[in-house]
Structure 1
Amino acid sequence: MNEKKITKQYGAIAFLPLIIFLALYIGSGLYFTFTGAEDAFKQFPRHVALMIGIGIALLMNRTMKLDEKIEVFSKNAGNSGVMLIGLIYLLAGGFQGAARSMGGVDSVVNMGLSFIPPALLIPGVFAMSSFIATSIGTSMGTVAAMAPIAIGVAAKADLNVAIACAAVIGGAYFGDNLSIISDTTISATKGVGCEMKDKFKMNFFIALPAALITMGIYAFIGGSGQIEGDLSYSIIKIVPYIVVLITAMMGFNVVGVLIIGIIMSGAIGLATNSINFLGFIQAVGTGMEEMMSITILAILVSGLIGLVKHYGGIDWLIEKITSSIKDRKGAEYGIGLLAGLLSMSLVNNTIAIIISAPIAKEIGFKFNISPKRLASLLDIFACALLSICPHDGAMLITTGLAGISPIEVLQYAFYPILLILSTVITIQFGLLRTKEEKEYIKASKVS
Structure 2
Amino acid sequence: MKEKKKVISFPLAIIPLLVMIGAMVVTIVKFEGSPHVPLILGTIVASFIAWRAGFVWKEIEDGIYEGIRMALPAIVIIIMVGLTIGAWIGGGIVATMIFYGLKLISPSLFLISMTIICSIVSIAIGSSWSTMGTIGVAGIGIGVSMGIPAPMVAGAIISGAYFGDKMSPLSDTTNLAAGIAGTDLFDHIKHMFYTTVPAFIIALIVYGVMGRKFADGAINNDKIAGVLGALEENFMISPWLLLVPVVVILLVVKKVPALPALTVGIILGWLCHILLQGGSVGEAVNTLQNGFVLSSGNELVDSLFNRGGIDAMMYTVSLTIVAMTFGGVMEQTGMLKVIVNEILKLAKTGRRLVVTTILSSFFTNVAAAEQYISIVLPGRMFKQAFADKSLHPKNLSRAVEDGGTVTSVFVPWNTCGVFIFATLGVHPFEYAPYAIFNFVGPLIAIIMALLGYKLTKLTSQETTKHEINLKNDRSQHIS
**TM-score normalised to the size of structure 1?**
0.67
Q: Which residue of 2 aligns with 1:97?
A: 86
Query: Relative to 1, partners in 2 of residues 1:210 and 1:58: Cα closer, same or farther, differing over 3 Å?
Result: closer
- From 124, 127, 132, the equivalent of 2:110 is 124
Q: 1:51-70 to 2 correspondence within 5 Å?
A: 51-60=40-49, 61-62=51-52, 64=54, 67-70=57-60
Q: 1:399-414 to 2 correspondence within 5 Å?
A: none
Query: Relative to 1, partners in 2 of residues 1:272 and 1:178: Cα closer, same or farther, differing over 3 Å?
Result: farther
Query: Relative to 1, partners in 2 of residues 1:238 and 1:330: Cα closer, same or farther, differing over 3 Å?
Result: farther
Q: Which residue of 2 aligns with 1:402?
A: none
Q: Which amino acid aligns with 2:405?
A: D
Structure 1 position 73, deviation (Å): 2.9
1:239 and 2:263 aligned = no
Unpaired runs of 5+ in structure 2? 123-130, 291-308, 387-392, 413-419, 468-479
Distance in 1 separating the partners of 2:53 and 2:440: 51
Distance in 2 separating the partners of 1:275 and 1:91: 21
Q: Which amino acid aligns with 1:72?
A: D
Q: Which amino acid aligns with 1:22?
A: I
Structure 1 position 332, deviation (Å): 4.5
Distance in 1 separating the partners of 2:317 and 2:54: 29
Q: Which residue of 1 aligns with 2:61?
A: 71
Distance in 1 separating the partners of 2:207 and 2:249: 27
Distance in 2 separating the partners of 1:310 and 1:416: 29
Distance in 1 separating the partners of 2:278 and 2:461: 56
Q: Which amino acid aligns with 1:52?
A: L
Whether the 8 Å contact between 1:123 and 1:215 is mirrored in structure 2 is no
- From 345, 353, 356, the equivalent of 2:371 is 353
Equivalent residues, number: 393
| 3-state SS, counterpart of residue 251 of structure 1 | coil
Query: Relative to 1, partners in 2 of residues 1:258 and 1:372: Cα closer, same or farther, differing over 3 Å?
Result: farther
Q: Which residue of 1 aligns with 2:6?
A: 6
Whether the 8 Å contact between 1:202 and 1:376 is mirrored in structure 2 is no
Deviations 1:389-413 (A, max 9, x none): xxx989xx999xxxxxx9xx96x98
| 3-state SS, counterpart of residue 137 of structure 1 | helix
Q: Which amino acid aligns with 1:236?
A: W
Structure 1 position 126, deviation (Å): 3.2
Distance in 1 separating the partners of 2:362 and 2:466: 34
Query: Relative to 1, partners in 2 of residues 1:17 and 1:442: Cα closer, same or farther, differing over 3 Å?
Result: same
Which has the higher mean CA deviation after the structures are superposed, 86-95 or 317-326?
A: 317-326
Query: Relative to 1, partners in 2 of residues 1:217 and 1:64: Cα closer, same or farther, differing over 3 Å?
Result: closer
Q: Which residue of 2 aligns with 1:430?
A: 454
Query: Relative to 1, partners in 2 of residues 1:48 and 1:417: Cα closer, same or farther, differing over 3 Å?
Result: closer
Distance in 2 separating the partners of 1:316 and 1:3: 19
Distance in 2 separating the partners of 1:25 and 1:237: 43
Distance in 2 separating the partners of 1:334 and 1:142: 38
Structure 1 position 322, deviation (Å): 2.5
| 3-state SS, counterpart of residue 174 of structure 1 | helix
Distance in 2 separating the partners of 1:193 and 1:275: 47
Q: Which amino acid aligns with 2:380?
A: E
1:266 and 2:266 aligned = no
Deviations 1:322-363 (A, max 9, x none): 2322466545433443555787x89xxx94636634533434
Identity %: 17
Q: Which residue of 2 aligns with 1:171?
A: 156
- From 281, 287, 292, the equivalent of 2:314 is 292
Distance in 2 separating the partners of 1:441 and 1:332: 23
Distance in 1 separating the partners of 2:140 and 2:372: 25
Q: Which residue of 1 aligns with 2:19?
A: 20
RMSD, matched Cα: 4.9
Structure 1 position 266, deviation (Å): 1.6
Q: Which amino acid aligns with 1:150?
A: M
Whether the 8 Å contact between 2:83 and 2:266 is mirrored in structure 1 is yes
1:325 and 2:347 aligned = yes
Query: Relative to 1, partners in 2 of residues 1:167 and 1:85: Cα closer, same or farther, differing over 3 Å?
Result: closer
Q: 1:127-206 to 2 correspondence within 5 Å?
A: 127-128=113-114, 131=117, 135-137=131-133, 141=137, 144-151=140-147, 168-178=153-163
Whether the 8 Å contact between 1:25 and 1:49 is mirrored in structure 2 is yes
Structure 1 position 24, deviation (Å): 0.7
Query: Relative to 1, partners in 2 of residues 1:105 and 1:330: Cα closer, same or farther, differing over 3 Å?
Result: farther
Query: Relative to 1, partners in 2 of residues 1:414 and 1:52: Cα closer, same or farther, differing over 3 Å?
Result: closer
Whether the 8 Å contact between 1:129 and 1:172 is mirrored in structure 2 is yes
Structure 1 position 179, deviation (Å): 7.0
Q: Which amino acid aligns with 2:146?
A: A
Which has the higher mean CA deviation after the structures are superposed, 264-273 or 204-213?
A: 204-213
1:46 and 2:21 aligned = no
Query: Relative to 1, partners in 2 of residues 1:398 and 1:66: Cα closer, same or farther, differing over 3 Å?
Result: closer
Whether the 8 Å contact between 1:104 and 1:238 is mirrored in structure 2 is yes
Q: Which residue of 1 aligns with 2:416?
A: none
Query: Relative to 1, partners in 2 of residues 1:444 and 1:165: Cα closer, same or farther, differing over 3 Å?
Result: farther
Distance in 2 separating the partners of 1:179 and 1:274: 36
Deviations 1:359-394 (A, max 9, x none): 3343464444576873464232344799xxxxx989
Query: Relative to 1, partners in 2 of residues 1:64 and 1:381: Cα closer, same or farther, differing over 3 Å?
Result: closer
Whether the 8 Å contact between 2:288 and 2:310 is mirrored in structure 1 is yes
